Amino acid sequence: MQHDIYSYLFVMSAVTLAIRILPLTLIRRQIKNRFLRSFLYYVPYVTLAVMTFPAIMDATQVPLAGLLALFTGIALSWYGASLFKVSAACCLTVFLVELVC
């Protein structure tokens, strides 16, 4: 079976452009549907979470370190810690757990 890389590139480009151009051409006025606005509001956060959470477990040598760092980050951010404090505490958690294990 012979693969044509140019056809793959064409399909990829067409899909990428369609995703970006179709909403601009089809939706010309403000979206007033409450459900759709709520859904679109959370899309960036969900995308970031889907890309970040699996990487948390795979980035450490010990999976327990990633899990404990995740819980540390969630707890500190829940109580209003700044982004710098949360990231520093997560890094320290990973360092200490990998030092012990």
Q: What is the pLDDT of residues 40-80, one digit of tens each?
A: 899 888 998 888 888 888 889 999 999 999 999 999 999 99
The mean pLDDT value of the chain amounts to 90
Given a contact cutoff of 8 angstroms between Cβ atoms, the answer to whether 67 and 93 are in contact is no
The domain ranges of the chain are 32-100
pTM of this structure: 0.60
How far apart are alpha carbons 71 and 65 in whole angstroms? 10
Q: Note the pLDDT of residue 32.
A: 86
Provide, rounded to the nearest whole percent, the portion of the chain with pLDDT above 90.
55
For the chain, what percent of residues have pLDDT higher than 70? 99
At 30 the pLDDT is 85
